[in-house]
Chains A and B, each alone.
Chain A
């Protein structure tokens, strides 16, 4: 689904990400782990167009069907299976099926929970300015339809009771969920979670872990940046470990858990 090739990001003399390459397969949870300052969030910010890429490339597979299995960049590009999405701004990536959540909540606090979810449907809504100014039937029908859709999402996550509450008045855990629902409302093919359970209690962590796993089971690809190793090991299909901007290791959770270098640099001896 996503192919990252020799990605670099320099902040002046500091190499925050250094020639990092990895692939994310369709319908899998690919976790990025590593100590603070390893470059995980910088990587996510590059993939989602918030930071410009110093060098390297990011490709998105257009169709992840069985016919399209070549691993050769050039062949894939020629056959149009792969699209270069390097340095494309975030709002454009959403229309290509990539969406994200943020380490520090980015919620519209003055809006209700329902309105925050309706924001997620924005790309599907009619935007004709004349129709908007006249509030035509189509605009009203759109509003009704997507309000119903947003309510369905809130119901799915047992949040229907807080639908009309202002986001500013909601708890941190609920807001984290709202951010995830808003991202899912954009109907993405690939979703990037940046520390989705940071600051949450064990119950909330379990709930969000389950949501992420279900999202992947439905065929969406997931990139997960997280420090909660219990969660990462439980729900990840593949893990890339970063340290000082470089790839330290890559593999399945059990391989990473037993990797001596990873244990030394990040997990600690207690983990093994």
Chain B
């Protein structure tokens, strides 16, 4: 009961934060960074479910997010299907795609699994580069405005509201999964596959499920980002992008919902804060990551634990 009350409090605090923060935005650029942070946070929360809870590493999530985005964009911009329907078709396809590839690759563990997911990500990157007729190749492609039931998302405020609502929904769903028998099995897989098998749970099936959920969430956020920015390029599927997502999760606090959220926001905003350092920007960015990992190995969420603002299960 106390845990449920705590969860509701956390969500209400987040809603309050998301409502208040735009009052401090000086111009549209602030909105753009905020929206990008929220969409990154959505991908990271999905990735955290896979990595932090089920213990399955993925170095291909940039590729999965981009593939979902490309399918949505191709269906809507080239074939003229409504963006909402395109998005739905893309998510269903990505669920199927994730399920199919999960069967062989999730038999691997540790470094081997990392290499396999990296391989899938690289294949996606090469494919979207090579299929220039559909994807625009290395130059990328323009994306139409997102419309749903005749309502156009044509301003940053609308995108901010949509991204915030999506984030809240993803967090609530994530919490519900974690606090269910599913979540217990996922945490069990992280600790001991044998223990989970010995109570009658099919480890391979659960690994597939969590991989599918994680990939679909990435594809959703990737598609929304393409619509928001009005452009998509193969850079979204690059290895660097996948690594960036993993770093966000670990930097924020792996295995913690709000850790992934904090990591995504912090590492999306940080490069913008460091632009005044010009040539030294990347160096300082790297030093900050090293510093945090050295002194806060459980991520920046541990700072909030110390301040007593959150508990170990948030």
A32 to chain B, nearest CB (A): 19
The size bracket of the interface on A is 35 or more
Residues of A within 8 A of B196 (CB): 91, 108, 119
Contacts of B185-213 to chain A: CB distance below 8 A: 185, 187-188, 190-192, 194-203, 209
State in angstroms the CA–CA spacing of A108 and B187 once bound together: 8
A202 to chain B, nearest CB (A): 27
B184 in contact (CB, < 8 A):
yes
Asked whether B199 lies within 8 Å of A123 as measured between CB atoms, the reply is: yes
Asked whether A111 lies within 8 Å of B184 as measured between CB atoms, the reply is: yes
Can you list, as one digit per residue, whether each of B167-180 has a CB less than 8 Å from chain A (1) or not (0)?
00000010011011
B203 to chain A, nearest CB (A): 7
State in angstroms the CA–CA spacing of A132 and B186 once bound together: 13
Asked whether A118 lies within 8 Å of B209 as measured between CB atoms, the reply is: no
Residues of A within 8 A of B187 (CB): 108, 110-111
A127 in contact (CB, < 8 A):
yes
Can you list, as one digit per residue, whether each of B100-118 has a CB less than 8 Å from chain A (1) or not (0)?
0000000000000000000
A109 to chain B, nearest CB (A): 6
Can you list, as one digit per residue, whether each of A88-119 has a CB less than 8 Å from chain B (1) or not (0)?
01111011000111100011111100011011
B181 in contact (CB, < 8 A):
yes
Residues of A within 8 A of B177 (CB): 132-133
Number of interface residues of B (CB under 8 A): 25
Residues of B within 8 A of A101 (CB): 198
Residues of B within 8 A of A123 (CB): 199-201
State in angstroms the CA–CA spacing of A244 and B148 once bound together: 71
B182 in contact (CB, < 8 A):
yes
Residues of A within 8 A of B180 (CB): 132, 135, 139, 143
State in angstroms the CA–CA spacing of A214 and B192 once bound together: 28
Residues of B within 8 A of A132 (CB): 176-177, 180-182
Asked whether A89 lies within 8 Å of B197 as measured between CB atoms, the reply is: yes
A122 in contact (CB, < 8 A):
yes
Can you list, as one digit per residue, whether each of A122-133 has a CB less than 8 Å from chain B (1) or not (0)?
110111010011
Using A133-B176, A135-B176 as known contacts, say yes or no to A118 and B198 having CB atoms under 8 A apart: no
Asked whether B197 lies within 8 Å of A107 as measured between CB atoms, the reply is: no
Using A106-B194, A110-B190 as known contacts, say yes or no to A94 and B184 having CB atoms under 8 A apart: no
Residues of B within 8 A of A111 (CB): 184, 187-188, 191
Can you list, as one digit per residue, whether each of A26-60 has a CB less than 8 Å from chain B (1) or not (0)?
00000000000000000000000010000000000
Nearest A residue to B188 via CB reads A108
Residues of B within 8 A of A156 (CB): none
A186 in contact (CB, < 8 A):
yes
Can you list, as one digit per residue, whether each of B155-170 has a CB less than 8 Å from chain A (1) or not (0)?
0000000000000000
A1 in contact (CB, < 8 A):
no
Nearest B residue to A122 via CB reads B199
A99 to chain B, nearest CB (A): 7
A134 in contact (CB, < 8 A):
yes
Nearest B residue to A95 via CB reads B200
Asked whether B198 lies within 8 Å of A106 as measured between CB atoms, the reply is: yes
State in angstroms the CA–CA spacing of A106 and B180 once bound together: 21
A142 in contact (CB, < 8 A):
yes
State in angstroms the CA–CA spacing of A109 and B177 once bound together: 20
State in angstroms the CA–CA spacing of A8 and B195 once bound together: 26
State in angstroms the CA–CA spacing of A106 and B182 once bound together: 19
State in angstroms the CA–CA spacing of A238 and B201 once bound together: 32
Asked whether B195 lies within 8 Å of A106 as measured between CB atoms, the reply is: yes
Nearest B residue to A94 via CB reads B200
State in angstroms the CA–CA spacing of A92 and B256 once bound together: 32
Using A106-B192, A111-B191 as known contacts, say yes or no to A182 and B199 having CB atoms under 8 A apart: yes
State in angstroms the CA–CA spacing of A127 and B202 once bound together: 12
State in angstroms the CA–CA spacing of A100 and B197 once bound together: 10
Asked whether B191 lies within 8 Å of A91 as measured between CB atoms, the reply is: no
Can you list, as one digit per residue, whether each of A182-215 has a CB less than 8 Å from chain B (1) or not (0)?
1101100000000000000000000000000000
A245 in contact (CB, < 8 A):
no
Residues of A within 8 A of B185 (CB): 119, 122
Asked whether B188 lies within 8 Å of A91 as measured between CB atoms, the reply is: no
A120 in contact (CB, < 8 A):
yes
Asked whether A108 lies within 8 Å of B192 as measured between CB atoms, the reply is: yes
Q: Which among A109, A182, A183, A185 is the interface contact of B191 at CB below 8 angstroms?
A: A109
State in angstroms the CA–CA spacing of A100 and B209 once bound together: 26
State in angstroms the CA–CA spacing of A183 and B199 once bound together: 7
B interface, CB within 8 angstroms of A: 173, 176-177, 179-182, 184-185, 187-188, 190-192, 194-203, 209
Which A-B residue pairs are the 8 nearest by beta carbons? Answer: A94-B200, A108-B191, A123-B200, A135-B176, A106-B195, A106-B194, A125-B181, A132-B180
A interface, CB within 8 angstroms of B: 50, 89-92, 94-95, 99-102, 106-111, 115-116, 118-120, 122-123, 125-127, 129, 132-135, 139, 142-143, 182-183, 185-186
Give 22 pairs: A residue, B residue, CB < 8 Å, sorted on A: A89-B197, A91-B198, A92-B202, A94-B200, A99-B198, A102-B198, A107-B191, A108-B188, A108-B192, A109-B191, A111-B184, A116-B195, A118-B184, A119-B184, A122-B184, A122-B200, A123-B201, A125-B181, A127-B181, A129-B209, A143-B179, A185-B199
